[in-house]
Structure 1
Amino acid sequence: MQKIIELLSQGKSPCHVTEWTGKQLEGAGYEELKIQESWQLAAGGKYYVRPYSGMVVAFSVPEQMNRKTALRLMFAHTDFPCFKIKPNPEVKTKDYWQLNVEPYGGMLKNTWFDRPLGIYGKVVLESENPFVPKVNLFGSEEPVAVIPSLAPHLNREAGGKQEYDMQRELLPLLGMEKEQEKEDFFLVYIKKKLGVEASEILSYDLFLTNMDEPELIGWDKTLLSSPRIDNLASVAAIVEAMCEKTAGESLAVAGLFDNEEIGSRSKQGADSSLMRDIIRKIGAAFGMTETEVNDMLRGGFLLSVDGAHAVHPNYTNKSDITNDVILGKGITVKTSASQRYLSDSEATAVVMQLCKKADIPYQVQVNRSGMPGGQTLGPIAVSYLPMQGADIGLPMLAMHSARELADIRDYHALASFLKIFSA
């Protein structure tokens, strides 16, 4: 349980998620590689690479590598709904200082009001080589903003309004104007935190994120209430499996991608050929031809690991009428006639058999007819890596809320399953 609680607390931006992942992997004996360098790999070796700041790929090499090597892929994403801070973000309204932000991902907007918000991400500084700017991780380490809600006395006509003017109603408040503050107060704040000159700051990817800490709640303390369960619970479970992986007979690969919440179409997202290139590079390090690597791919198995919708006790009419997914009842295998999820009958059977052999509880999720649900990175990934695969995940409630809900027993089941799958 330690890894998931730690990551939910510390992983406040994709950059911080991959930074945490790298430290965990190095502690388990993984060696960091550079994507543009030649790789000298050893049989039985463990390695990881961060091609971009929000993406990391880790792999554990078996004792023998050939076209019949069992390839086991586990994919998840490092991003989550939040607010991205725009350039030149300073807004002064009356005597209030605010930030100009835009939504990142499909957030449940009304849950973000009155939350303690911190600022996390990366700041890019001047460097000697213009093509290699200096990148600094940034974290406020404390709440610095809040989006105050409008009292019902002043908003009687809205009732249970769920739609908001993002540009006007969800601007965060940083504080009140002070005489010594300048118009570029945000840049001054960043400069002070990093200990650099304002002229050195060129750009940034900074996000407002919920600073609430994860908690175990409920009468038996099994309910996990936390920001960012989607999809950092999957990341933590995959990292846990990779840290315990021994050489064995399989090539286990963990792919943690950025930008899933906005469609995955980026250099660091799953809708890219980068993962295929990395697998080919691994094969080439062991003298495998492209045909041999392709043969290994065809015989591989991919798990797309992401949150799954549990039946909501107050909205049972939003779920399928014969396939219940309940918190605390095990991992979820997700299927869809439209292939919005990766699993087909054969892949589902693989997951079921592994679960049965290890006595791991599992459930099957099918969306209610007429309610398509979201798409995972699984179907996207197999368009570059054609192989058998399944979508699995942690059942949860309040997905994309500022604070989500799951059951810690399901996390343990997921982590156990991934360890067996990758062994």
Structure 2
Amino acid sequence: MRRKSWSLLLVVLLLGLAGLAQAAPLVNCQVELDRRVLLAGPTQKTVIKIALGAPLMQRTDERSPVNLALVLDRSGSMSGSKIAKAREAAIEALHRLGANDLFALVAYDHEVKTLVPAQRIKHSEGIEAQIRRIKPGGNTALFGAVSQGAAEVRKHSDSNYVHRVVLLSDGLANVGPSNPADLARLGAALLKEGISVTTVGVGTDFNEDLMTQLAERSDGNHYFVESSQDLPRIFAAELGDVLSVVARKVIIEIECPPGVKPLRIIGREGRIKGQKVEVRMNQIYGGQQKYALVEVEVPVSQPGQQLDLARVDCRYQNALTNIDESSTTVARTRFSQRPEEVRQAASKAVQKAVVENEMAVTRDRALNLYNAGRKHEAARTLREKSDDLKEQNAALGFADLAAEADQLQDEAAEFEAEQLDKTRKKQLRSESFKVRKQQKAY
């Protein structure tokens, strides 16, 4: 009898271990269509939403250590309250870090200096003293400063840290490379190394195109801080994100079968090659959702037919265990000849994401046209997209989403006015960035 009991206990233990070995991946990958049912008939387009989410960490001692470099502008324009609040924000960031984290500090004007090389924080008083001694003066060697901050992070890039550079600037880059395309290339190169750059633009004189492109191409965050009084709060928010990373080196691969053609990625950077789509993210934050929207062309169909639109593979490194994990799912639709069934199968949540991202992409395009001196073309672009989105959503019965698209009509009127001021340009660029990157609002 005792032998049977021990045998039964052994079986239970083995089953338990097997269950642990097959535990669900940390990151939940969900695939949803803008319409679960499509109207049977000719070729048409539909949107696949791939959403990634992970639970919020309950214990801070579970988190992955952080490798952080602060890059602070100390050019002449940072005098007064700006530099004072920047110092306060840097000290706030320092206090949020733990014993296993790394911290580096780079300050720049026309020269770039590493004031605190990458190190664990054993005696924060000495680092605080370095921060308090930062004084403004000189021009803005922004490219060199970001490169130097990345060099400090790179000293430990082969370790299992969350790698982040946080750049603060209030002015135009006027020493060294200063074109937004130059900073975009730098951001893309750093992303390949697993380093993200978050940009914090203070006031109304910084180049918002440069700052957003650097952040976007490296998968960092971007903040427009009109008042320097908000800097400590913004730095606290950014550290909240960095300290909640649960997954790194995220790759979403979407492969469409013959007959289904991937057309574009809405709102995010990515690559389409033949039947395959690839979207990369440097990290996933606990308690937040990130997603990609992929528009595909669906072939001629018959009523009652079912069709696999794509196989979706999600791969990443679990930042809590440093183990590679993955999951696979399939996007599938069916076809009906009843328009009412198609309408009832529309997903308002997916359609809302499509509307918001289409508006953001169009807003960015319009800003580029406006900055090139083509303001009437910019306004026309906004109005045409507004009309398209209103028509699509009215047909699906989403009157509130159609009304939301009316916002582009109001912005078109702004673009046609005498002049968009610098503050408004930065607000529009920042709003679009946050939508396309699903950056948490603070």
> TM (normalized to structure 2)?
0.27
> Higher Cα Rg: structure 1 or 2?
2
- From the two aligned structures, give the one with the greater helix fraction: 2
